[in-house]
Amino acid sequence: MKAIHFLAPLVFISTLGLKAQDCKVYIPGTIGTQTELTSYDKKDKPTGISKQTLLGIKQSGDTTVYTLHQVSTDSKGQNPVEANYNFKCFNGIFYFDMNSFMDQKTMEAYKDMQIKISTDNTLIPSEMQAGQQLKDGFIKMEILAGPMPITMKVDVVNRKVEGFEKVTTSAGTFDCVKISEDILGNWGFVKTTTHNITWYSAEIGAVRSETYNKGKLENYTVLTNVKKK
């Protein structure tokens, strides 16, 4: 896979748990910390498991980049799919890696082709208020194969801070910000629209996430374990 994108050279920072300008990090914030999230369908049947581990923290000027490794499997822990994501903190704002919105199995199918990726990252500011509107984002992937390129795009829109809540799971009780958003997928001839609600906790990441289709719960994901190094 030849992904066309750019990232300035980075200087490694060995300090664990480094923060960029008091930026709140909405993923595991310390190197070696692992979170486990279990996904369920609308009938509460387990459908998959994702394990995320923070691999490194690097600094480039006033931007801090966090590298997260994710392994996703089915509910039995089989058929693993692995990927690395880079999240950033700059000027007190946490930026998501939009590649995480792309299905990694789909990405794997095009790994031997030339790919052009363009993004506009979604973000979570360190200071928020209930009712606040947040910046939209998108990721667009063009597969340069044959006479006609294949284009896939995901738009994340209508993002809103719904409020602040405590959420309890088998992994513990967490102080969370509740954020809602609409996910618009354009996969060529197939278009999808879902409404997502996610509860994020600083230094941990998503604690609970719910996906709705036409107002009905379609699936949800829950934080089921946290292992700190």
**CA nearest neighbour of 135 among 94, 187, 164:** 94
Q: Which run of H or E residues covers position 109?
A: helix 104-109
pLDDT tens digit string along 162-199?
999 999 999 999 999 999 999 999 987 889 999 999 99
Pairing of strands 137-143, 150-169: antiparallel
Rounded distance between C-alpha atoms, residue 131 and residue 128, angstroms? 9
Rounded distance between C-alpha atoms, residue 214 and residue 216, angstroms? 6
Q: Is the pLDDT of residue 148 over 80?
A: no
pLDDT tens digit string along 17-52?
344 447 999 999 999 999 999 999 999 999 999 999
DSSP type of residue 29: -
Phi, psi of 130 (to 5 degrees): -60, 135
Q: Identify the structural domains of the chain with CATH numbers, from first to last.
A: 2-227 (2.40.360.20)
Rounded distance between C-alpha atoms, residue 157 and residue 137, angstroms? 7
pLDDT tens digit string along 3-17?
333 232 322 233 333
DSSP type of residue 102: S
Is residue 99 within 8 A of residue 122, CB to CB? The reply is no
pLDDT tens digit string along 48-79?
999 999 999 999 889 999 999 999 999 999 99
Q: Determine the average pLDDT of the residues in 206-225.
A: 97
For all residues of the chain together, what is the average pLDDT?
87
**CA nearest neighbour of 71 among 88, 55, 60, 87:** 55
pLDDT value of position 139: 92
